[in-house]
Amino acid sequence: MERWLLTLAVLAFLLLALWGMRVGWRRRARSQSVLVPPFPTVPDEPGEPLLEAAGLYVSTTTAGNWQDRIVTRGMGLRGRAVLRRYPGGIEVDRAGAPGFWIPADSLAGVRRASAIAGKVMGTDSLLVFTWRLGGVELDTGFRGDDLEVYPQWMESVQNEIKGGAQ
């Protein structure tokens, strides 16, 4: 009988913890929806892709704060994605979640990193794009299946920022 009561108490505690996490996630999404504008959608005719990479969309955070995950409007969900670089910007095509567009004129930087909310690694195997959305600066992290394409991506984005050729 004592073991049965202890089991019920542990189960009730776990359910309460899960409920608390859900409430916290939803509260965070509501508060961020005021601060972070809706993410841009992909243009109807973006042109021909200059670069493409399959991998994992990890998360988007506020710039410089790798643990402050943006969860509003479904952006907090990690999953498979294809990254495409067009002359006008970068498409993040997420499987099972809304994709979004990073306009070229909003790009502020690109770098390799070892950590962003939802993924921490010992090597610099994340590609992180820093960009502006409204008055907020964001970091979007992507873990590519092929890390050998990162230098091409970094050069292309840095040339875009400098106003040079793709």
Query: Measured between alpha carbons, how far is 142 from 149 in angstroms, rounded to an integer?
Result: 12
Is residue 144 a contact partner of residue 126, using CB atoms and an 8 Å limit? no
Q: How far is CA 6 from CA 16, 18, 19, 137, 157, in A?
A: 15, 18, 20, 48, 57
pTM of structure: 0.82
What pLDDT does residue 72 have?
84
103 within domain boundaries: yes
Q: Report pLDDT digits (tens) over 96-116.
A: 888 999 999 999 999 999 988
Q: Specify the residue for token string 């109807």.
A: 44
- Is 77 within a domain? yes
Q: What value does the mean pLDDT take over residues 66-81? A: 87
43 found inside a domain: no
pLDDT tens digits, 11-68: 999 999 999 988 887 887 777 777 888 889 898 888 899 999 999 999 999 998 888 8
Q: Does residue 42 lie within any of the structural domains?
A: no
Residues 69 and 142 in one domain: yes
Instruction: Report the CATH number that the domain containing residue 143 is assigned in CATH.
Output: 2.30.29.30
The answer to the question of residue 131 being in a domain is: yes
Domain that holds residue 83: 51-162
86 and 16 belong to one structural domain: no
Q: Are residues 141 and 96 in the same domain?
A: yes
Provide the number of structural domains found in the chain. Answer: 2
